[in-house]
Every structure is written in C-alpha cells, then in structure tokens.
Amino acid sequence: MTSIARIIMLLFLCPLTVAGIGHAQEIPPGGTAQTLRGELLSLDNKVQSLQKTVADISRDLTILEEEAQFPERSRISVFLGMDQLPRFDLDSVEVSVNGKIVTTHTYTPEETAALQLGGIHRLYIGSLNDGDQLLSVIFKGKTPANPFYRSSASLNFKKGQKPKFIALGISDLLQDNTPTMTVREAQ
C-alpha cells in the first residue's frame, strides 16, 4: 500500500473513530442532551466534508498518476462494448500488442449483463511508441452449440503523436446467434 493510500485511509478512519468516542461520552455537567446532539451533528458534518475532500483528492491523484504513467502523446486505450446476445456468455478477453499480452480479463455474469445493456469496459490503457502497431484480441465464451467458443480479431494501425483509442465490439453480424468481434480505431 502506498503512503498516499495510507494517508487517505487514515483520513477516512480517524474522524469515524473520534465520532464513535463522542457517542460513548457522558453528558458533561451543566450540558444538555440537546447541546451534545448539536455538537455531534456539527462533528458529523465536518467528517462528511472531510471525506468528500479526501475522495476528491484521491480522484485527482488517480488522474495525475495516470497522466504521469501514460503521457497523452504515447497513450493507447482499448475499450470493449457488446450487443445484446442472450445466447452468448462471455468468459474472457485477452489483448496483445505487437505479440505481447498486455491484459486479460475474465468476466462475471454481472459484468457481461452490464455490457449487454450498453456498458463499456476499459480493458487496457498503456503507452506505445510512434509507428506501425498490431493489436490482437482473443475472446472466449459459451454458446448453446459450443461451450468452448473462441474467436479472434486483429488490427494493424499507425501510432502517431496523439492518443489512440481502439474499440472492440462483440455482436451478431450474421444474425445467426454466433458472436463476432470487431476491432476498429475510435475517434
């Protein structure tokens, strides 16, 4: 766990601990339950405000980390979308760039359902040098006719100075309940 993650975790846990201790205290002499309740509500509002600030900082740090690791001019992002294919259960997708496997993802039934409802999954983000590239994809799943269905697709493309976005799509192009994968450059 990085030191930043530890700091964020402490910022989330410490106020909760303090708030928990506040609930266990007795009402001070001369104080009323109403006063204590007001102080606890004020403390709770401050804790919620701190948690929102920490969440915003965490989001900003994630964005900065991504930009530092994958500068915009060399960035490549690969996304997967899927049509509604009720007779196809997606199992996994493997992405290779220039013959090297860069990511593999195994899908849960919930993830497959989300994809079939129009969801998009960012499979990979990385860096590439300028020039000619080859992206290859293998996807596996189950159909009623074939419990070990496997298909592949590839795309030759030229990486330039701008970020490159690749869209993978799983659809039934032939309308015969056989899934087909398409790979294209997205704009």
The pLDDT score that the predictor gives to residue 60 is 81
- In whole angstroms, give the CA distance from residue 78 to residue 185: 9
Mean pLDDT (the chain, rounded): 81
Strand partners, 150: 140
The pLDDT score that the predictor gives to residue 87 is 82
- Tokens read off for 71: 């500068």
Q: Please give the average pLDDT of every successive group of 10 residues along the chain, which has 187 residues.
A: 55 52 54 77 87 87 72 82 87 94 94 92 90 93 88 91 90 76 86
- In whole angstroms, give the CA distance from residue 103 to residue 161: 23
The pLDDT score that the predictor gives to residue 18 is 47
Q: DSSP E strands: which ranges in 12-54?
A: none
- List the chain domain ranges: 3-69, 72-186
The pLDDT score that the predictor gives to residue 86 is 80
The pLDDT score that the predictor gives to residue 26 is 58
Reduce the DSSP state of residue 50 to 3 states and report it. helix
Assign domain 72-186 one CATH number from 1.10.260, 2.60.40, 3.10.450, 1.20.120: 2.60.40
In this structure, the chain runs to a length of 187
The pLDDT score that the predictor gives to residue 19 is 47
pLDDT tens, residue by residue, 93-123: 999 999 999 999 999 999 999 999 999 999 9
User: Of the candidates 133, 132, 116, which has an alpha carbon nearest to the alpha carbon of residue 124?
Assistant: 133
pTM for this model (two decimals): 0.61
Distances in Å between the Cα of 8 and the Cα atoms of 15, 50, 154 are 12, 11, 41
